[in-house]
Structure 1
Amino acid sequence: MTTTRGPYAKGVARKQEIIEVALELLAVGGLRQSTLDEIAKRVGITRPGLLHYFGSREALLTAVLEERDRRDIAHGIGVGVTGMGVTETMDEVLLHSLRSPGLARLFTIFAAEATDEDHPAHAFFRGRYQRIRTMIEEGIRAEQDGGVIDRGVDPGPAAQQILAVLDGLQLQWLLDPGLDPRTALRTSMIVLLPAPRT
Protein backbone atom coordinates (compact mmCIF):
# COMPACT_ATOMS: atom_id res chain seq x y z
CA MET A 1 0.00 0.00 0.00
CA THR A 2 2.78 2.42 0.83
CA THR A 3 4.49 1.89 -2.51
CA THR A 4 1.40 2.79 -4.55
CA ARG A 5 0.34 5.67 -2.33
CA GLY A 6 3.63 7.61 -2.74
CA PRO A 7 3.63 7.73 -6.56
CA TYR A 8 -0.12 8.36 -6.61
CA ALA A 9 0.22 11.32 -4.26
CA LYS A 10 3.09 12.68 -6.37
CA GLY A 11 1.00 12.32 -9.52
CA VAL A 12 -1.91 14.22 -7.94
CA ALA A 13 0.47 16.95 -6.76
CA ARG A 14 2.04 17.21 -10.22
CA LYS A 15 -1.40 17.46 -11.88
CA GLN A 16 -2.33 20.26 -9.48
CA GLU A 17 0.95 22.04 -10.23
CA ILE A 18 0.23 21.83 -13.96
CA ILE A 19 -3.27 23.25 -13.44
CA GLU A 20 -1.87 26.12 -11.34
CA VAL A 21 0.67 27.03 -14.01
CA ALA A 22 -1.93 26.68 -16.79
CA LEU A 23 -4.34 28.98 -14.93
CA GLU A 24 -1.63 31.60 -14.54
CA LEU A 25 -0.55 31.52 -18.18
CA LEU A 26 -4.04 31.25 -19.66
CA ALA A 27 -5.43 34.09 -17.53
CA VAL A 28 -3.14 36.56 -19.27
CA GLY A 29 -2.38 35.18 -22.71
CA GLY A 30 -5.23 32.84 -23.43
CA LEU A 31 -4.83 29.74 -25.53
CA ARG A 32 -2.24 29.98 -28.29
CA GLN A 33 -0.37 27.34 -30.27
CA SER A 34 2.58 27.55 -27.89
CA THR A 35 0.61 27.52 -24.62
CA LEU A 36 0.96 23.80 -23.87
CA ASP A 37 4.69 23.98 -24.59
CA GLU A 38 4.98 26.97 -22.22
CA ILE A 39 3.09 25.14 -19.48
CA ALA A 40 5.26 22.04 -19.90
CA LYS A 41 8.46 24.10 -19.83
CA ARG A 42 7.38 25.99 -16.70
CA VAL A 43 6.59 22.71 -14.92
CA GLY A 44 9.83 21.13 -16.12
CA ILE A 45 8.46 18.37 -18.34
CA THR A 46 7.90 17.77 -22.05
CA ARG A 47 4.61 18.37 -23.87
CA PRO A 48 3.97 14.58 -24.15
CA GLY A 49 4.77 14.34 -20.44
CA LEU A 50 2.25 17.09 -19.75
CA LEU A 51 -0.48 15.31 -21.70
CA HIS A 52 0.38 12.04 -19.93
CA TYR A 53 -1.16 13.47 -16.75
CA PHE A 54 -4.43 14.44 -18.43
CA GLY A 55 -4.77 12.24 -21.48
CA SER A 56 -5.50 15.08 -23.90
CA ARG A 57 -5.34 18.83 -24.43
CA GLU A 58 -9.11 19.03 -23.94
CA ALA A 59 -8.95 17.18 -20.60
CA LEU A 60 -6.27 19.60 -19.35
CA LEU A 61 -8.28 22.66 -20.41
CA THR A 62 -11.43 21.23 -18.83
CA ALA A 63 -9.51 20.69 -15.58
CA VAL A 64 -8.36 24.33 -15.73
CA LEU A 65 -11.93 25.61 -16.15
CA GLU A 66 -13.17 23.32 -13.36
CA GLU A 67 -10.48 24.71 -11.07
CA ARG A 68 -11.45 28.26 -12.02
CA ASP A 69 -15.07 27.51 -11.08
CA ARG A 70 -13.98 25.93 -7.78
CA ARG A 71 -11.90 28.99 -6.90
CA ASP A 72 -14.66 31.40 -7.90
CA ILE A 73 -17.09 29.68 -5.54
CA ALA A 74 -14.45 29.61 -2.77
CA HIS A 75 -14.02 33.39 -3.20
CA GLY A 76 -17.76 34.03 -3.10
CA ILE A 77 -18.31 34.52 -6.82
CA GLY A 78 -21.51 32.81 -7.86
CA VAL A 79 -25.26 32.97 -7.48
CA GLY A 80 -26.32 32.18 -3.94
CA VAL A 81 -22.74 32.09 -2.67
CA THR A 82 -22.54 35.44 -0.91
CA GLY A 83 -26.16 36.39 -0.44
CA MET A 84 -25.95 39.08 -3.14
CA GLY A 85 -28.89 39.56 -5.47
CA VAL A 86 -28.92 38.09 -8.96
CA THR A 87 -28.07 41.40 -10.67
CA GLU A 88 -25.14 42.14 -8.35
CA THR A 89 -23.87 38.58 -8.70
CA MET A 90 -23.97 38.67 -12.49
CA ASP A 91 -22.11 41.98 -12.44
CA GLU A 92 -19.46 40.40 -10.19
CA VAL A 93 -19.18 37.37 -12.49
CA LEU A 94 -18.72 39.64 -15.53
CA LEU A 95 -16.18 41.82 -13.74
CA HIS A 96 -14.22 38.71 -12.76
CA SER A 97 -14.11 37.62 -16.42
CA LEU A 98 -12.95 41.06 -17.53
CA ARG A 99 -10.00 40.79 -15.14
CA SER A 100 -8.87 37.51 -16.78
CA PRO A 101 -9.28 38.03 -20.53
CA GLY A 102 -7.24 34.95 -21.40
CA LEU A 103 -9.49 32.65 -19.41
CA ALA A 104 -12.58 34.43 -20.77
CA ARG A 105 -11.28 33.79 -24.29
CA LEU A 106 -10.53 30.14 -23.47
CA PHE A 107 -14.01 29.68 -22.00
CA THR A 108 -15.71 31.25 -25.03
CA ILE A 109 -13.77 29.20 -27.59
CA PHE A 110 -13.96 25.97 -25.64
CA ALA A 111 -17.68 26.33 -24.92
CA ALA A 112 -18.38 26.78 -28.63
CA GLU A 113 -16.28 23.72 -29.51
CA ALA A 114 -18.04 21.68 -26.81
CA THR A 115 -21.45 22.11 -28.46
CA ASP A 116 -20.41 19.01 -30.43
CA GLU A 117 -21.74 16.04 -28.45
CA ASP A 118 -18.54 14.11 -29.14
CA HIS A 119 -16.31 16.83 -27.69
CA PRO A 120 -14.53 15.73 -24.48
CA ALA A 121 -15.78 18.83 -22.62
CA HIS A 122 -19.41 18.54 -23.76
CA ALA A 123 -20.60 16.99 -20.49
CA PHE A 124 -18.69 19.55 -18.43
CA PHE A 125 -20.26 22.54 -20.18
CA ARG A 126 -23.73 21.02 -20.31
CA GLY A 127 -23.61 20.27 -16.59
CA ARG A 128 -22.14 23.66 -15.78
CA TYR A 129 -24.88 25.55 -17.63
CA GLN A 130 -27.60 23.42 -16.02
CA ARG A 131 -26.12 24.07 -12.56
CA ILE A 132 -25.81 27.83 -13.10
CA ARG A 133 -29.31 28.12 -14.61
CA THR A 134 -30.70 26.37 -11.53
CA MET A 135 -28.78 28.71 -9.21
CA ILE A 136 -30.06 31.78 -11.07
CA GLU A 137 -33.64 30.44 -10.99
CA GLU A 138 -33.36 29.91 -7.22
CA GLY A 139 -31.96 33.43 -6.82
CA ILE A 140 -34.85 34.90 -8.83
CA ARG A 141 -37.44 33.01 -6.76
CA ALA A 142 -35.80 34.18 -3.53
CA GLU A 143 -35.92 37.80 -4.73
CA GLN A 144 -39.53 37.37 -5.84
CA ASP A 145 -40.36 36.11 -2.34
CA GLY A 146 -38.55 39.14 -0.93
CA GLY A 147 -40.54 41.56 -3.08
CA VAL A 148 -37.52 42.63 -5.18
CA ILE A 149 -38.45 41.03 -8.53
CA ASP A 150 -41.92 41.00 -10.09
CA ARG A 151 -43.70 37.66 -9.66
CA GLY A 152 -44.70 37.74 -13.34
CA VAL A 153 -41.08 36.85 -14.27
CA ASP A 154 -40.72 33.16 -15.17
CA PRO A 155 -37.41 32.11 -13.53
CA GLY A 156 -36.57 29.39 -16.09
CA PRO A 157 -36.57 31.46 -19.28
CA ALA A 158 -35.17 34.46 -17.39
CA ALA A 159 -32.16 32.39 -16.28
CA GLN A 160 -31.52 31.31 -19.88
CA GLN A 161 -31.74 34.91 -21.09
CA ILE A 162 -29.40 36.19 -18.37
CA LEU A 163 -26.74 33.63 -19.32
CA ALA A 164 -27.21 34.47 -23.01
CA VAL A 165 -26.69 38.18 -22.26
CA LEU A 166 -23.66 37.47 -20.07
CA ASP A 167 -21.96 35.23 -22.65
CA GLY A 168 -22.86 37.56 -25.53
CA LEU A 169 -21.47 40.63 -23.78
CA GLN A 170 -18.29 38.77 -22.92
CA LEU A 171 -17.84 37.76 -26.56
CA GLN A 172 -18.42 41.32 -27.79
CA TRP A 173 -15.94 42.66 -25.22
CA LEU A 174 -13.30 40.13 -26.31
CA LEU A 175 -13.74 41.37 -29.88
CA ASP A 176 -13.82 45.05 -28.86
CA PRO A 177 -12.30 45.79 -25.41
CA GLY A 178 -13.42 49.42 -25.71
CA LEU A 179 -17.03 48.41 -25.01
CA ASP A 180 -18.62 48.79 -21.57
CA PRO A 181 -20.30 45.41 -20.97
CA ARG A 182 -21.11 46.10 -17.31
CA THR A 183 -23.41 49.01 -18.14
CA ALA A 184 -25.04 46.95 -20.88
CA LEU A 185 -25.53 44.08 -18.41
CA ARG A 186 -27.14 46.29 -15.77
CA THR A 187 -29.50 47.76 -18.39
CA SER A 188 -30.46 44.25 -19.54
CA MET A 189 -31.09 43.07 -15.98
CA ILE A 190 -33.57 45.91 -15.38
CA VAL A 191 -35.57 44.63 -18.35
CA LEU A 192 -35.21 40.92 -17.53
CA LEU A 193 -35.82 41.23 -13.78
CA PRO A 194 -38.21 44.16 -13.29
CA ALA A 195 -39.26 45.34 -9.85
CA PRO A 196 -42.82 44.53 -8.76
CA ARG A 197 -45.48 46.78 -10.25
CA THR A 198 -47.04 49.10 -7.72
Structure 2
Amino acid sequence: MTREAGGARVRRPPAERRAEILRTAMETFAERGYQSASLAEIADRVGLTQAGVLHYFSSKAGLLTGVLDLRDSTDIEELGSERPRGLAFLRHLVETTRRNAGREGIVRLYTVLAAESVTAEHPAQRWFRDRYQGLLALVAEALDDARALGEVAADVDSGTTSRVIVATMDGLQLQWLLEPGSVDMAEATEVAIVRLIGRDLPPAARH
Protein backbone atom coordinates (compact mmCIF):
# COMPACT_ATOMS: atom_id res chain seq x y z
CA MET A 1 0.00 0.00 0.00
CA THR A 2 1.09 3.58 -0.58
CA ARG A 3 0.01 6.94 0.76
CA GLU A 4 -1.63 9.66 -1.32
CA ALA A 5 -2.01 13.34 -0.42
CA GLY A 6 -3.77 13.65 2.94
CA GLY A 7 -2.35 10.43 4.29
CA ALA A 8 -4.95 8.06 2.81
CA ARG A 9 -3.60 4.56 2.23
CA VAL A 10 -4.23 3.10 -1.22
CA ARG A 11 -3.75 -0.57 -2.11
CA ARG A 12 -1.83 -0.99 -5.37
CA PRO A 13 -2.81 -3.76 -7.81
CA PRO A 14 -0.44 -6.74 -7.37
CA ALA A 15 0.82 -6.58 -10.98
CA GLU A 16 1.60 -2.88 -10.62
CA ARG A 17 3.40 -3.37 -7.32
CA ARG A 18 5.38 -6.33 -8.70
CA ALA A 19 6.48 -4.25 -11.71
CA GLU A 20 7.54 -1.41 -9.38
CA ILE A 21 9.63 -3.80 -7.28
CA LEU A 22 11.32 -5.19 -10.40
CA ARG A 23 12.14 -1.72 -11.73
CA THR A 24 13.55 -0.67 -8.36
CA ALA A 25 15.57 -3.86 -8.01
CA MET A 26 16.94 -3.39 -11.53
CA GLU A 27 18.12 0.11 -10.64
CA THR A 28 19.57 -1.02 -7.30
CA PHE A 29 21.44 -4.02 -8.74
CA ALA A 30 22.79 -1.80 -11.53
CA GLU A 31 24.07 0.76 -9.03
CA ARG A 32 25.43 -1.56 -6.35
CA GLY A 33 25.67 -5.06 -7.80
CA TYR A 34 23.75 -8.08 -6.56
CA GLN A 35 26.11 -8.89 -3.71
CA SER A 36 26.13 -5.39 -2.21
CA ALA A 37 22.44 -4.59 -2.68
CA SER A 38 20.12 -5.76 0.08
CA LEU A 39 16.45 -6.66 0.21
CA ALA A 40 16.08 -4.07 2.97
CA GLU A 41 17.34 -1.33 0.65
CA ILE A 42 15.06 -2.38 -2.20
CA ALA A 43 12.09 -2.66 0.16
CA ASP A 44 12.77 0.81 1.56
CA ARG A 45 12.91 2.30 -1.94
CA VAL A 46 9.45 0.97 -2.78
CA GLY A 47 7.95 1.71 0.64
CA LEU A 48 7.58 -1.89 1.77
CA THR A 49 9.00 -4.12 4.46
CA GLN A 50 11.30 -6.98 3.50
CA ALA A 51 8.38 -9.33 4.19
CA GLY A 52 6.33 -7.25 1.77
CA VAL A 53 8.87 -7.73 -1.00
CA LEU A 54 9.10 -11.45 -0.22
CA HIS A 55 5.33 -11.67 -0.67
CA TYR A 56 5.96 -11.05 -4.40
CA PHE A 57 9.35 -12.74 -4.74
CA SER A 58 10.34 -15.77 -2.69
CA SER A 59 13.95 -14.66 -2.13
CA LYS A 60 16.61 -12.19 -3.18
CA ALA A 61 17.77 -14.72 -5.79
CA GLY A 62 14.18 -14.99 -7.05
CA LEU A 63 14.05 -11.22 -7.40
CA LEU A 64 17.28 -11.31 -9.40
CA THR A 65 15.77 -13.93 -11.72
CA GLY A 66 12.78 -11.67 -12.26
CA VAL A 67 15.03 -8.73 -13.09
CA LEU A 68 17.03 -10.79 -15.60
CA ASP A 69 13.85 -12.11 -17.23
CA LEU A 70 12.58 -8.53 -17.54
CA ARG A 71 15.82 -7.44 -19.16
CA ASP A 72 15.74 -10.44 -21.50
CA SER A 73 12.14 -9.79 -22.55
CA THR A 74 13.14 -6.32 -23.74
CA ASP A 75 15.66 -7.80 -26.18
CA ILE A 76 13.15 -10.41 -27.39
CA GLU A 77 10.55 -7.72 -28.08
CA GLU A 78 13.09 -5.73 -30.10
CA LEU A 79 13.96 -8.77 -32.19
CA GLY A 80 10.36 -9.20 -33.30
CA SER A 81 8.52 -12.32 -34.38
CA GLU A 82 10.91 -13.19 -37.20
CA ARG A 83 14.65 -13.10 -36.69
CA PRO A 84 16.64 -11.55 -39.57
CA ARG A 85 19.06 -13.89 -41.34
CA GLY A 86 22.63 -13.60 -42.54
CA LEU A 87 24.15 -10.15 -42.61
CA ALA A 88 20.77 -8.65 -41.71
CA PHE A 89 21.15 -10.20 -38.26
CA LEU A 90 24.60 -8.62 -37.86
CA ARG A 91 23.01 -5.28 -38.79
CA HIS A 92 20.46 -5.98 -36.04
CA LEU A 93 23.32 -6.34 -33.53
CA VAL A 94 24.70 -2.96 -34.57
CA GLU A 95 21.30 -1.32 -34.18
CA THR A 96 20.91 -2.95 -30.76
CA THR A 97 24.10 -1.26 -29.59
CA ARG A 98 22.73 2.01 -30.94
CA ARG A 99 19.55 1.61 -28.88
CA ASN A 100 21.60 0.65 -25.83
CA ALA A 101 23.16 4.10 -25.83
CA GLY A 102 19.73 5.37 -24.78
CA ARG A 103 19.21 2.94 -21.90
CA GLU A 104 22.19 3.21 -19.61
CA GLY A 105 20.44 1.51 -16.68
CA ILE A 106 19.93 -1.77 -18.53
CA VAL A 107 23.46 -1.72 -19.94
CA ARG A 108 24.91 -1.05 -16.50
CA LEU A 109 22.82 -3.82 -14.95
CA TYR A 110 24.00 -6.33 -17.54
CA THR A 111 27.65 -5.33 -17.24
CA VAL A 112 27.73 -5.36 -13.43
CA LEU A 113 25.90 -8.67 -13.07
CA ALA A 114 27.86 -10.36 -15.86
CA ALA A 115 31.11 -9.52 -14.09
CA GLU A 116 29.77 -10.69 -10.73
CA SER A 117 28.42 -13.94 -12.20
CA VAL A 118 31.91 -15.43 -12.59
CA THR A 119 32.22 -15.70 -8.79
CA ALA A 120 31.50 -19.02 -7.11
CA GLU A 121 27.82 -19.92 -6.66
CA HIS A 122 26.49 -16.62 -7.98
CA PRO A 123 22.74 -17.10 -8.62
CA ALA A 124 22.97 -15.51 -12.08
CA GLN A 125 25.89 -17.63 -13.29
CA ARG A 126 23.75 -20.19 -15.14
CA TRP A 127 21.62 -17.43 -16.69
CA PHE A 128 24.67 -15.67 -18.11
CA ARG A 129 26.26 -18.92 -19.26
CA ASP A 130 23.08 -19.89 -21.09
CA ARG A 131 22.68 -16.41 -22.51
CA TYR A 132 26.21 -16.33 -23.91
CA GLN A 133 25.80 -19.78 -25.40
CA GLY A 134 22.52 -18.74 -27.00
CA LEU A 135 23.88 -15.45 -28.34
CA LEU A 136 27.01 -17.08 -29.73
CA ALA A 137 24.87 -19.70 -31.45
CA LEU A 138 22.68 -16.99 -33.02
CA VAL A 139 25.68 -15.03 -34.34
CA ALA A 140 27.38 -18.19 -35.63
CA GLU A 141 24.16 -19.25 -37.36
CA ALA A 142 23.86 -15.81 -38.97
CA LEU A 143 27.44 -16.14 -40.27
CA ASP A 144 26.69 -19.65 -41.58
CA ASP A 145 23.61 -18.27 -43.35
CA ALA A 146 25.64 -15.41 -44.78
CA ARG A 147 28.24 -17.86 -46.08
CA ALA A 148 25.54 -20.06 -47.66
CA LEU A 149 23.99 -16.98 -49.30
CA GLY A 150 27.35 -15.88 -50.67
CA GLU A 151 27.33 -12.75 -48.50
CA VAL A 152 30.71 -13.58 -46.92
CA ALA A 153 33.72 -15.61 -48.00
CA ALA A 154 33.69 -19.37 -47.49
CA ASP A 155 36.71 -19.21 -45.18
CA VAL A 156 35.03 -17.04 -42.50
CA ASP A 157 35.16 -19.10 -39.28
CA SER A 158 31.71 -18.63 -37.76
CA GLY A 159 32.69 -20.02 -34.33
CA THR A 160 35.70 -17.78 -33.69
CA THR A 161 34.19 -14.76 -35.43
CA SER A 162 31.01 -14.94 -33.36
CA ARG A 163 33.07 -14.93 -30.15
CA VAL A 164 35.07 -11.91 -31.27
CA ILE A 165 31.90 -10.01 -32.20
CA VAL A 166 30.24 -10.68 -28.83
CA ALA A 167 33.45 -9.83 -26.95
CA THR A 168 33.73 -6.58 -28.91
CA MET A 169 30.18 -5.56 -28.02
CA ASP A 170 30.73 -6.30 -24.32
CA GLY A 171 34.04 -4.45 -24.26
CA LEU A 172 32.56 -1.39 -25.93
CA GLN A 173 29.73 -1.31 -23.39
CA LEU A 174 32.27 -1.25 -20.57
CA GLN A 175 34.22 1.61 -22.18
CA TRP A 176 30.99 3.54 -22.79
CA LEU A 177 29.85 3.13 -19.18
CA LEU A 178 33.19 4.34 -17.84
CA GLU A 179 33.36 7.30 -20.22
CA PRO A 180 30.15 7.77 -22.26
CA GLY A 181 31.52 10.37 -24.64
CA SER A 182 34.59 8.34 -25.54
CA VAL A 183 33.02 5.87 -27.95
CA ASP A 184 30.16 5.49 -30.41
CA MET A 185 29.21 1.88 -29.67
CA ALA A 186 27.22 1.33 -32.85
CA GLU A 187 29.87 2.77 -35.13
CA ALA A 188 32.68 0.85 -33.44
CA THR A 189 30.69 -2.40 -33.51
CA GLU A 190 30.01 -2.03 -37.22
CA VAL A 191 33.66 -1.26 -37.99
CA ALA A 192 34.75 -4.38 -36.10
CA ILE A 193 32.22 -6.65 -37.83
CA VAL A 194 33.07 -5.30 -41.29
CA ARG A 195 36.78 -5.84 -40.68
CA LEU A 196 36.13 -9.39 -39.46
CA ILE A 197 33.93 -10.51 -42.37
CA GLY A 198 35.43 -8.35 -45.13
CA ARG A 199 32.01 -7.09 -46.29
CA ASP A 200 29.85 -4.04 -45.60
CA LEU A 201 26.61 -4.63 -43.74
CA PRO A 202 23.25 -3.89 -45.34
CA PRO A 203 21.77 -0.50 -44.44
CA ALA A 204 19.54 -0.21 -41.39
CA ALA A 205 15.83 -0.60 -42.04
CA ARG A 206 13.84 2.62 -41.98
CA HIS A 207 10.78 2.80 -39.76
TM-score range, shorter chain: 0.7 to 0.9
**Which of 76, 81, 84 matches 2:83?**
81
Task: Report whether the alignment pairs 1:194 with 2:198.
Answer: yes
Change (3 A) 1:34 1:112: closer
TM-score where L is the length of structure 2: 0.73
Q: Give, in angstroms, the shift of residue 62 of structure 1.
A: 3.2
Which residue number in structure 2 is paired with residue 138 of structure 1?
Answer: 141
Write the letter of the residue equivalent to 2:187.
Answer: T
Q: Output the CA distance in 1 between the equivalents of 2:65 and 2:181.
A: 29
**Is the contact made by 2:89 and 2:142 (CA closer than 8 Å) also made in structure 1?**
yes
Q: Which amino acid aligns with 2:141?
A: E
Distance 1:47-1:95 versus aligned 2 partners, 3 A rule: farther
Tell me the distance in 1 between the aligned counterparts of 2:80 and 2:160: 22
1:49 partnered with 2:52: yes
Residues 17 and 81 of structure 1, relative CA distance in 2, 3 Å threshold: farther
Per the alignment, residue 31 of structure 1 pairs with 31
Structure 1 residue runs of 4 or more that deviate by more than 6 Å after TM superposition: 10-13
Q: Are residues 1:148 and 2:151 paired? A: yes
- Partner in structure 2 of residue 159 of structure 1: 162
Return the alpha-carbon distance in structure 1 between the equivalents of residues 101 and 39 of structure 2. Answer: 23
Distance 1:77 1:164, change over 3 A: farther
Partners in 1 of 2:128 and 2:190 — Cα distance? 25
Tell me the CA shift for residue 40 of structure 1: 3.1
Percent identity, aligned pairs only, is 36
C-alpha distance in 1 between matches for 2:45 and 2:136: 37
Which segment is superposed worse, 120-129 or 108-117? 108-117
Please report the TM-score for the alignment, with normalisation by the length of structure 1: 0.76
3-state SS of the aligned residue for 2:180? coil
1:95 CA displacement:
1.8
Distance 2:44 2:56 in 1: 15
- 1:63 maps to 2:62: no
CA contact (8 A) 2:172 2:185 kept: yes
Aligned to 1:93: 96
Residue type of the partner of 1:190? V
Cα RMSD, aligned residues only: 3.1
Q: CA deviation at 1:12?
A: 7.3
5+ residue gaps in structure 1?
A: 1-9
- Distance in 2 separating the partners of 1:193 and 1:60: 40
Q: Distance in 2 between matches of 1:14 and 1:97?
A: 26
